[in-house]
Amino acid sequence: MKDSKEADRFNGKWGVITVNERLPSRGEQIARARAWGVTESMLGRRDISALIIDDVTGKRTTNWPGLLAARASFLDTMGAILPAGDQVFFATPLCVGFSPSHARQTIERLWSCGMMVYVHTVRGNGSALYAEGDDITDLLEMVAAEQNAANVRKSRNKS
């Protein structure tokens, strides 16, 4: 990403990056977001970063929204400006939410702002773009499967 924002019109693509040992690295997520088209640019006169980054390395909780401060701030801002048609990047299903309920909450909040949810890697079969009203059952099942796999990896690494 460039250090300075471009004066070009904002392309409507946002990237939500969450840093945690169960997720792809920060650099990998940013590279995927960049490949998808997230750029630093101005949103009208507002200087709002197109990359929303939370680092929750080593954190465990049942209240993820409380720990993801940058994401919460982004959602509040989007709720105020309602950028209908904008798209939000997540690298994997587990990046959307650390549990199926957290992922559903994130998706429904983005949909309430008129936004769509783009997940870059879905079961290794490419990407998916979810619009309001889409059936997200499969995506939530992928979140649960990735959550379980991450927990198994973590427990094996301790042994």
- Residue 151's nearest CA partner among 94, 81, 66 is 94
In a domain, 110, yes or no: yes
In a domain, 35, yes or no: yes
More confident residue, 85 or 153: 85
pLDDT the model gives residue 41: 62
In a domain, 1, yes or no: no
In a domain, 64, yes or no: yes
Residue 111 phi, psi dihedral angles, 5° rounding:
-60, -40
d(CA 11, CA 61): 34
Q: How buried is 133 (Cβ within 10 angstroms: 0-12 exposed, 13-18 middle, 19+ buried)?
A: exposed
**Residue 140 sits in a domain of what CATH number?**
3.40.50.1390
Q: What is the mean pLDDT of the chain?
A: 89
Report residue 153's pLDDT band, with 50, 70 and 90 as the boundaries: confident
pLDDT of 2 higher than 50: no
In a domain, 76, yes or no: yes
Structure confidence by residue, pLDDT tens digits, 103-131: 999 999 999 999 999 999 877 678 999 99
Q: How buried is 135 (Cβ within 10 angstroms: 0-12 exposed, 13-18 middle, 19+ buried)?
A: exposed
In a domain, 146, yes or no: yes
Helix pair angle (137-158, 100-112), 10° resolution: 140
d(CA 59, CA 78): 26
Predicted TM-score (pTM) of this structure? 0.88
d(CA 144, CA 138): 10
List beta partners, residue 15. 51, 89
Structural domain count of the chain: 1
Report residue 3's pLDDT band, with 50, 70 and 90 as the boundaries: very low
Most confident listed range (18-22, 40-44, 120-124) = 18-22
Residue 68 phi, psi dihedral angles, 5° rounding:
-95, 70
Which residue range is the domain that position 104 belongs to?
Answer: 6-158
d(CA 40, CA 85): 18
d(CA 28, CA 35): 11
CB atoms within 10 A of CB 39: 17
In a domain, 19, yes or no: yes
Beta strand segments in 30-124, E: 41-42, 51-55, 87-90, 116-119
In a domain, 29, yes or no: yes
Query: Among 39-48, 49-58, 136-145, which stretch is predicted with the lowest mean pLDDT?
Result: 39-48
